């Protein structure tokens, strides 16, 4: 199978990553799946013919980069890499271990994986990187300060990578998935609304992949919330 038909999903053991792995496999991709929880990966692998797995903890970035490169070699390359690994806590008490865990995964881990994927695509001359950000990136959250800040990092880093690819005139697509509430283990806290199923989120992400979009909101109605965040007075946003 050509490497263009291979996809690697980082954070595939549950949530959006798992749903997307199943969808891509059904669409004819050979899927490589990375996550911390090996048992969940093995169970998913048994459902997806030809898939490959690699136990990985992105909060250990140097080790994660090596494992990612191993999986690429084992699969004979990949044309698509999706970074779905993420964590977050409701943490108004500002417990440092929760803030640090969020930064370790959503900033250090994400950046390591994005950097490794894009460097691979640059050597290859083409490719498509997709990463899951959030509408939370538009505003600092008093309930989850590190989470919203980490997602702002994700979106800005992706924008920077997109600029690098444009400057180098390389056919490498960078897609920012700005997700609203999706029915995953991370969807908790008060005021949750417009919750999409992980399957619906995966379908919209797949559509964005096919169309090689630069930025999409999942689900689409969250574009309205992002627009409101941009125009609302700062004092009102902080209430």
The residues carrying an active-site annotation are: 147
What the block records as the tokens of 115 is 């950097």
In Å, what is the CA distance from 54 to each residue of 37, 39, 236? 10, 11, 45
């Amino acid at each position: 199978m050509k490497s263009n038909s291979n996809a690697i999903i980082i954070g595939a053991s549950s949530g959006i990553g798992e749903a997307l792995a199943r969808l891509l496999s059904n669409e004819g991709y050979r899927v490589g799946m990375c996550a911390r929880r090996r048992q969940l990966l093995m169970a998913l692998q048994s459902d997806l013919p030809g898939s490959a797995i690699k136990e990985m903890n992105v909060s250990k970035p140097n080790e994660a980069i090596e494992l990612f490169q191993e999986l690429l070699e084992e699969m004979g390359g990949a044309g698509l890499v999706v970074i779905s690994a993420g964590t977050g806590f409701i943490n108004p008490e500002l417990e440092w271990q929760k803030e640090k865990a969020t930064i370790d995964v959503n900033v250090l881990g994400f950046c390591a994986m994005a950097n490794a994927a894009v460097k691979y695509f640059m050597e290859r001359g083409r490719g498509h990187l997709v990463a899951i950000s959030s509408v939370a990136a538009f505003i600092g959250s008093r309930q989850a300060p590190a989470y919203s800040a980490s997602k702002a990092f994700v979106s800005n880093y992706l924008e920077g990578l997109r600029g690098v690819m444009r400057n180098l005139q390389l056919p490498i697509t960078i897609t920012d998935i700005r997700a609203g509430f999706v029915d995953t283990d991370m969807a908790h806290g008060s005021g949750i609304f417009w919750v999409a199923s992980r399957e619906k989120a995966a379908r919209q992400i797949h559509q964005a992949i096919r169309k090689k979009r630069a930025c999409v909101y999942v689900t689409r109605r969250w574009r309205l919330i992002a627009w409101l965040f941009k125009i609302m007075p700062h004092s009102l946003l902080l209430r």
